[in-house]
Amino acid sequence: MTERPGTCGPAPVLVERVARILDDHRRGGDGQGEGTSCRCGVNGIIDHPRHVAEQIVAHLGLRRETAKDIATKVRYVSAWVDQELTTLEGAE
């Protein structure tokens, strides 16, 4: 029997963490005037969806990667794969 996607491994843990963050950061107030409040206690939020997204990023420890960082990592992995292939070809 095969399991449904998302029922094993890290995905359910991630989903649970995000669900908990969403629950902890529900909108409060009426969203009029000086902004809205959040269940987490922050008041005067102009863009509540952005506030929630920032909280998800912060709680999951995500960080922005620059194009330069990604290019460097790709070059590093590419060089490593080339080295491994060269080693394997020499072993044959």
Q: Give the Cα separation of 69 and 75 in Å (integer).
A: 10
Q: Give the Cα separation of 80 and 86 in Å (integer).
A: 10
The total number of structural domains in the chain stands at 2
Q: Give the Cα separation of 33 and 29 in Å (integer).
A: 10
Strand-pairing partners, residue 28, are 37
Digit-by-digit pLDDT tens for the chain (92 residues) are 344 554 566 778 888 889 999 988 888 765 555 778 998 988 988 888 989 999 998 888 877 777 778 888 888 888 888 888 888 877 65
**69: containing domain:** 65-92
Residues 31 and 47 in one domain: yes
Residues 20 and 37 in one domain: yes
> pTM of the full predicted structure?
0.54
Which residue in the block uniquely carries the two structure tokens 């959040």? Answer: 38
Residues 12 and 55 in one domain: yes
Residues 53 and 69 in one domain: no
